[in-house]
Amino acid sequence: MELRDSTALVTGANRGIGRHFALELIRRGAKVYATARRPELVDIPGAHVLRLDITDEASVAAAAASALDVDVLINNAASTAGGDLVTGDLSGIRETMDSNYYGTLHMIRAFAPILARNGGGAVLNVLSAVAWTTVAGNAAYGAAKSAEWGLTNGVRLELAGQGTLVSALVPGVTATETMRDYAKVAGLQIRDGAMNEPIDLVRLALDGLEAGEIEILDRFGVEAKATLTGPPQAFDLEKALG
Ligand SMILES: NC(=O)c1ccc[n+]([C@@H]2O[C@H](COP(=O)([O-])OP(=O)(O)OC[C@H]3O[C@@H](n4cnc5c(N)ncnc54)[C@H](OP(=O)(O)O)[C@@H]3O)[C@@H](O)[C@H]2O)c1
């Protein structure tokens, strides 16, 4: 899929990995809708800014009505703090599932007809290596990402007939403010170079999308997928960072 002269929509573009997606897509010659729950926080020269909460169907419908030329959908936005499944706050667990699973599903349902009308295009869902493992202290997030992986595989089948490439980015720890804050609160030391730089991850993802790959893995994703051939394992955050 050629990104030059494509029209991309990025969710959660006000910060973190989503902001880098929007910046790099513009650099590669795409028209970009940079969307956010709080559009006033989007600072991306050249982007078309839209308000969008992916868990709110009316908000998703309004964004779709304003972005009828989209042919690349980047489902990046998500809540990443689900907490513990057994003893954690249930509202946090629900919010994580709502954004990662239902939010991504709302976006795909709203944009699938638009992608079809625009020649098929592509969807990229941002998953996580914890989809294939789990992680102590944030198992609700791992479970939501596992659900999103299943969703991605199902949607790929359903949209194959309209020529839409449905791809999964499966990364590990990436140096966003959210990740650094989490490491600090958890008292984890971060070795230099332990985390992906967001821009490197985004370049890997967009190169993979341009090459038509259906799964795009960084080194953490490769290791996590290999664990699936054996008994379930947890992602060792301390080892990954230290
Ligand atoms: N960083 C990592 O180590 C890492 C590793 C693997 C996978 N990922 C995945 O990569 C993606 C981005 O992560 P990140 O580290 O960049 O996260 P982040 O810095 O915490 O940013 C999350 C983004 O998602 C937005 N968002 C959350 N819920 C939303 C909703 N209901 N509607 C619209 N936007 C919403 C946030 O908006 P607000 O500013 O309004 O909260 C923010 O823009 C996520 O899917 C995450 O699971 C991250």
pLDDT confidence tier of residue 242, bands split at 50, 70 and 90: confident
| HSE (side-chain half, CA atoms, 13 Å) at 107 | 34
Say yes or no: CB of residue 12 within 6 Å of ligand 1.
yes
Residue 2 lies in a domain: no
State the pLDDT at residue 39. Answer: 98
Backbone angles phi, psi at 67, to 5 degrees: -135, 60
Query: Percent of the chain scored above 70 by pLDDT?
Result: 100
pLDDT confidence tier of residue 216, bands split at 50, 70 and 90: very high
| Alpha-carbon gap, residue 143 to 58, rounded angstroms | 26
Residue 140 lies in a domain: yes
Residue 65 lies in a domain: yes
User: Which among 131, 34, 114 is positioned nearest to 80, based on CA atoms?
Assistant: 131
User: Which among 45, 22, 8, 36 is positioned nearest to 198, based on CA atoms?
Assistant: 22
Based on the structure, what is the number of domains in the chain?
1
Digit-coded pLDDT (tens) for 132-186: 999 999 999 999 999 999 999 999 999 999 999 999 999 999 999 999 998 998 8
State the pLDDT at residue 186. Answer: 86
Quote the domain boundaries for residue 194: 7-236
Residue 209 lies in a domain: yes
Contact in structure between 95 and 79 (CB atoms under 8 Å): yes
Whether 76 shows a pLDDT value over 90: the answer reads yes
CA-nearest residue, atom 33 of ligand 1: 53
Q: Quick one: three-class SS letters along the chain?
A: CCCCCCEEEECCCCCHHHHHHHHHHHHCCCEEEEEECCHHHCCCCCCEEEECCCCCHHHHHHHHHHCCCCCEEEECCCCCCCCCCCCCCHHHHHHHHHHHHHHHHHHHHHHHHHHHHCCCCEEEEECCHHHCCCCCCCHHHHHHHHHHHHHHHHHHHHHHCCCCEEEEEECCCECCHHHHHHHHHCCCCCCCCCCECHHHHHHHHHHHHHCCCCEEECHHHHHHHHHCCCCCCCCCHHHHHC
Q: What number of other Cβ atoms are within 10 A of residue 40's Cβ?
A: 9
From 80, 105, 170, 204, the mutation candidate for ligand 1 (largest count of ligand atoms within 8 A of CB) is 80
Say yes or no: CB of residue 55 within 6 Å of ligand 1.
yes
Residue 241 lies in a domain: no
Q: What number of other Cβ atoms are within 10 A of residue 113's Cβ?
A: 12
Query: What is the Cα Rg of the chain in Å?
Result: 17
Residue 133 lies in a domain: yes
Residue 217 lies in a domain: yes
State the pLDDT at residue 177. Answer: 96
CATH number of residue 24's parent domain = 3.40.50.720
| Alpha-carbon gap, residue 221 to 201, rounded angstroms | 12
From 11, 14, 15, 132, the mutation candidate for ligand 1 (largest count of ligand atoms within 8 A of CB) is 15
Digit-coded pLDDT (tens) for 185-215: 888 899 999 999 999 999 999 999 999 999 9
Residue 1 lies in a domain: no
Report the catalytic residues.
141
